Structure formats: structure tokens, C-alpha cells
Amino acid sequence: MSKSLTLLSTVLLLNMFSPVHAASSIDLSVKGLITPSACAPTLTGGGVIDHGKISAGDLNKNNPTPLPTRSLQMSVSCEAQTLFGLKAVDNRAASGSGSKFGVGFVNGDKKLGWYYLYFNNPMMDGAPARAIVSYDNGSTWRPEDALEPGLLSAMSALSDTSTPIAASNLAVELEVASGIYATAAMDLREEVAIDGSATIEVKYL
């Protein structure tokens, strides 16, 4: 037993007097890529979908009520052929959920409704294309018509949906599918604004 205790004590003493080696520097890198061309997105109608006034009595108390689907024409014009994607930021994210964009609250904290965004009939430089999405910020892609909050979307050739393609012009119909949640627990005795807002950003790939 004594030998074991003596050995342990010696190890502890050696550790106490061993020099500590730590890195005295660390590297920082600042990276980026300046693209020679710029792209500008536009939406028809000023980017506004207006459902007008909806009677509370026309809304379903026990089930969601879909609202009429509307569409806007969207285009992205670039100064030269450019590889780009699109990302939608839900400016009402607190009232959204997953792939649903939010339209605000009723009674303080109850979600009022939702809307989805879909790409229809995309054309890249006049040729039919396919909408694709990446769940890993551009590392891999798969076909998907929905433009979901926070995800990166792009357009591919019809023959290869695994890779985005470059173009100087994108023309696509942006379908907006909205709805109001079941109203049984909502106080709708006063007017409630449908208040959806999203920002669509061009991302250079």
C-alpha cells in the first residue's frame, strides 16, 4: 500500500510542476466573392395580395377556412448570366409555423392564419425550368415548388434537378395560398387585420 501511495504522490507532484503549453495566437479569415453582375427582383401589383374585407360569419368556426388563391408575376433580371437563388424571410415569423408564413395574431397571442408561396411555370432565359430547394444552404438540392421561410430555392434545368443553373432572367408565377384558422376561440367582434409580410432575397451562389 505504501508503494502505491508514494507513486501517486510523485505523479501529483510532477503534474504540479509541469509547464502548461497553450497557443499564443489564433487565426481569423475574412472571405467573400465579389460578383461582376447584379440581379434585381420585381413583383407585379407592388407585391401586394389584398383579400379585401371578409365577414367573420363566413369563416369556419371548427376548421380552417381557405381564402382564394392569388398569383403575382415575379421576375429576376441580372446584368449577365448569374448563378443565384432565392430566400424568403417571414417578417411575421412569430405567427408562422414550419413552411407556413404568418399573418399576425388575434386576441393578442392567437395565430390568425397562414399563407404558402409556390413557384409555377418558371422560365430561365425563356426556357422552361424546375424549382428546386436546398435544406443545407446549397450543398444539395431537390425538386420543390414551395418557397419556404428561411430555405434557399433556385431553378434547375428540367433534365437535372440536382444543380441550379445560371441565367440573366427568371420569370415565374408566384402563387399565394392563404387561409384563416378555426375561429371558435377567436374574438372577432372588432375588425382584425390580415397582416402577412415577407421579404424575398436574391442570394448569389
Structural domain includes residue 46: no
- Taking only the tens place, the pLDDT of each residue in 87-144 is 999 999 999 999 999 999 999 999 999 999 999 999 999 999 999 999 999 999 999 9
Q: Does residue 17 form part of some domain?
A: no
Domain boundaries, position 85 = 80-205
pLDDT of residue 17: 44
Residue 1's Cβ-count burial label (10 Å; 0-12, 13-18, 19+) is exposed
Q: Residue 68: pLDDT band by 50, 70, 90 thresholds?
A: very high
Residue 175 in any domain: the answer is yes
Specify the number of domains making up the chain.
Answer: 1
Q: Read off the pTM.
A: 0.82
Q: Quick check: is 27 in a domain?
A: no
pLDDT computed for residue 25 by the predictor: 73
Q: Residue 195's CB: how many other CB atoms inside 10 A?
A: 14
pLDDT tops 90 at residue 204? yes
* b/e 137-160 (16+ beta carbons within 10 angstroms → b): eeeebeebbbbbbebbbbbbeeee
CATH of the domain at 197: 2.60.40
Whether 171 has a pLDDT exceeding 60, the answer reads yes
The reported pLDDT for the residue numbered 26 is 74
Q: Is residue 145 in some structural domain?
A: yes
Query: Does residue 32 form part of some domain?
Result: no
Instruction: Look at residue 170 and tell me if it is in a domain.
Output: yes
Residue 138 covered by a domain:
yes
Q: Checking DSSP bridges between strand 101-102 and strand 84-90, what pairing results, if any?
A: unpaired
Provide the pairing of β-strand 152-157 with 113-124: unpaired
